[in-house]
Amino acid sequence: MKPLKNMIKLIFICIFTLSFINISNSGEKNYYKDLVTNWSKIFPDSNRNAAGPKFFKYIIDKDITYEDFIEYNKLYCAVSGSLIDPNDTPEFIYLNQEGTEKKMCGNYYRCCVPCSCDVMKYSSVQKMKHKFKDGIKEFYVLTIKNPCNKKDFPNRVNKDYFCEGKKINKTQVQELDNRIVIGLFHNGRSCKKDEIDIINNHQITGSYCQLRNNTPLENLQTGMGDIFIKLAR
């Protein structure tokens, strides 16, 4: 009799556990699905080339918590405008803080290896403050200078997404000190010396990026190629 009681008890435990898992999963927020569903709203002409800033603007304009904001910003590449698979591993990189030579370290979610090199060379880090559902938070973002005066603005990028004449189009992208926010710099902080050494000696952020970032613009054939670089340089 005792084995039968134990078996029944085990069955009830399993049913309860499965029910709890299903309830938990049904309550999870599918950030990726939301971005896919609203793709045409974010990119009305379907042109996402170098348009990571459009994702950032869409996300920061939502009425969400800071945690939601963090999770959403793991799902697109700030350089290319491509979506990134959920649970992808970020690259550990450093960039200069805007207006200084101070190195800032953090994580960058990218769609491909060259994008890490491009963001390290052609963007800067700035601190930003925003009010979320759970209060005002400070965080670091990746920015590029205002591209709207460029005579060689890349023709494969929708200029209307970024510019209103020679000014930044603040309804389409996030402006910060006359610079465009292209994405979130995850876990941003001042670099320690050993962190800089790790990044410089890494196979990708070290030797590969050094090669790519010293290659003439007309010879770049991988990643977004010259599109983002023409936009950001």
pLDDT value for 111? 93
145-161 as b/e: b if 16+ CB within 10 A = bbbbeeeeebeebbeeb
pLDDT per residue over 166-191, tens digit each? 999 999 999 999 999 999 999 999 99
Cβ burial, residue 198 (10 Å; 0-12/13-18/19+): middle
- How far is 122 from 213, CA to CA, in rounded Å? 10
pLDDT value for 57? 98
Q: 148, 165, 179, 140: which is closest to 53 by C-alpha?
A: 179
Sheet containing 91-96: order of strands: 91-96, 103-108, 186-190
pLDDT value for 208? 94
pLDDT per residue over 22-45, tens digit each? 333 334 589 999 999 999 999 999
Tokens of 106: 């953090």
Compute and round to an integer the Cα radius of gyration of the chain. 21
This model's pTM is above 0.95: no
pLDDT value for 28? 57
pLDDT value for 110? 95
Domain residue ranges in the chain: 30-232
Whether 226 and 114 have beta carbons less than 8 Å apart is answered as no
pLDDT value for 222? 59
Q: Which helix (H) or strand (E) holds 197?
A: helix 193-201
Q: Which helix (H) or strand (E) holds 228?
A: helix 226-232
- How far is 27 from 156, CA to CA, in rounded Å? 40
Query: What does the pLDDT profile of the chain (233 residues) look like in tens digits?
Result: 444 444 444 433 333 333 333 333 334 589 999 999 999 999 999 999 999 999 999 999 999 999 999 999 999 999 999 999 998 999 999 999 999 989 999 999 999 999 999 999 999 999 999 999 999 999 999 999 999 999 889 989 999 999 999 999 999 999 999 999 999 999 999 999 999 999 999 999 999 999 999 888 777 765 566 789 999 98
